[in-house]
Amino acid sequence: MRFSFFLIGCFLLPFQVLALDSYADLVEELMPSVVNISTEKEVIDVKESNIENVMLDPMLQGREALGSGFFIRSNGYILTNYHVIDGAKKITVVTNDNKTFAASVVGIDKPSDLAVLKIDNKINNKEPSLSFKSIIFGDAEKVRIGDKILAFGNPYGLGVSVTSGIISAKSRNIGLGEQQYLQTDAAINRGNSGGPMFNLNGEVIGVNAAIFTMHGASGVGFSLPSNIANWISSQIIETGKVRRGWLGLEVAYGFDKYTDKSGFVITSIDEESSAYKEGLRVGEIIISYNDKPADDVSDFQRFTETMEPGQTLRLKTLSYGEEIRNVIKIQEMPERELKNITNKALNESSKYYHEGNNDDVVYISELKIAVKEASPRGLTIVKIESHSPLQEKGISVGDIILEADRSEVYSAENLLESIQYAVFDDYRPLTLFIQSVNNTFYSTIELEKEND
């Protein structure tokens, strides 16, 4: 990826001179920047037919989602994932020293699944103000496959934890729009969403965003590169929203039959765009942009999106073999285009939090669902029939059953045992503890009596 961002100079910390037989000094230095985030959502009347993910545990006072975040400004600005705070009526932040703060939403960016929060850093609304330990953004462009990293987060609501691993791959397209992600083997679990990924210089190089797990595997984690996170969060803090650049055309790989040069063929162009008004047309070949070779469509799309509206883009194109130099003014992405990329990201996102193959799938007839074992515990729902009692409670494919009647679930046998106890007890309701993409909640399921 190619971006115009703030490049942070080399920031050497005292612990870097020590042998890396332990990360303890580095973790101690970084831990104060990481926070736990919990949210409460509106409780729906349990008599309503359109119940969705209602938290029925009276101790929790509403639905609750757990996630992570980190300070990006010392005066209380926090970066996290949008899905962590989506739909929240109340957001609570707990710092590493166990101080609790109410947080407000500064702004969100759905296409990147990022949100910026703010906690009050004033003491009784007076000076002096509290100062929080903010992170330093590193340059994800310089990350190499094999580099060691540390991932921080709040797995399963246990509290801030740290895991280590390496960068397994770069520029992974996992279906969340056009974003490219860093892949790691460091353990990233539910609740780690929004947590930072650090390099060994103590710089954030990614925001933990998604996991992909399979039966018997520990999972693969994905983090949004720091360059994108820095660009988006800075805009949100400064203006409350993200302005994306728009060129007004779509491209695909192609070559010019007159010169045999390869590049991006223009497949469609908006007649309201500056590109059209400057004379570009469908069928022309872009062979370079701002002196960069036209060899990666995704890089080109991200490059133009991250340009400031009003800036100019230099294009070198071929039209019937003739080379033409163009200067195009970047426009702000129209609302209709922003909605398109947002919907694409949201529609594709959920399957990357937990997936598996079709091995070891068990059908639970009493609940009319098919499940398979999740890691490290629980059962992933891989299919729900239309007349399943879980469907009306807002439970969906991909959600994980963690507990049944307050007993942890590790296998289908555990779940079936709890169901049988409920059946023997005159078909009393079964309480399930569910983990979905956005939150963790209790749901009470009415078991259907035989021959009813």
Residues 6+ apart with CB under 8 A from 190: 155, 156, 211, 353, 354, 400, 435, 440
Q: Name the active-site residue from 38, 134, 161, 193.
A: 193
Q: Name the active-site residue from 86, 113, 256, 399.
A: 113
Q: What is the 3-state secondary structure (H, E, C) of 86-151?
A: CCEEEEEEECCCCCEEEEEEEEEEHHHCEEEEEECCEECCEEEECCCCCCCECCHHHCCCCCEEEE
C-alpha 202/C-alpha 44 separation (Å) is 43
Q: Which two tokens stand for residue 263?
A: 């590049």
Question: Is 350 a residue of the active site?
Answer: no
Which residue matches tokens 């037989």? 21
Reported in sequence order, the residue ranges of 245-368 that DSSP labels E, i.e. its strands, are 245-246, 249-255, 262-269, 285-289, 292-293, 312-319, 322-329, 331-332, 362-364
CA distances from 439 to 66, 130, 193, 385 (A): 6, 30, 11, 22
Candidates 232, 227, 211; CA nearest to 143 is 227
Give yes or no for a contact between 434 and 395, defined as CB atoms under 8 angstroms apart. yes
Q: Which two tokens stand for residue 390?
A: 């879980």
Candidates 119, 195, 121, 128; CA nearest to 158 is 195
DSSP SS3 for 276: helix
DSSP SS3 for 413: helix
Residues 6+ apart with CB under 8 A from 115: 79, 80, 81, 82, 84, 85, 105, 107, 108, 109
Question: Is 411 a residue of the active site?
Answer: no
Q: Name the active-site residue from 83, 86, 161, 443.
A: 83
Strands 262-269 and 285-289: antiparallel
| Residue 410 burial (10 A CB sphere; 0-12, 13-18, 19+) | middle
Which residue matches tokens 């070198």? 316
DSSP state of 23: -
Question: Is 260 a residue of the active site?
Answer: no
Q: Which two tokens stand for residue 145?
A: 């496959």
Strand partners, 243: none
Cite the active site residues.
83, 113, 193
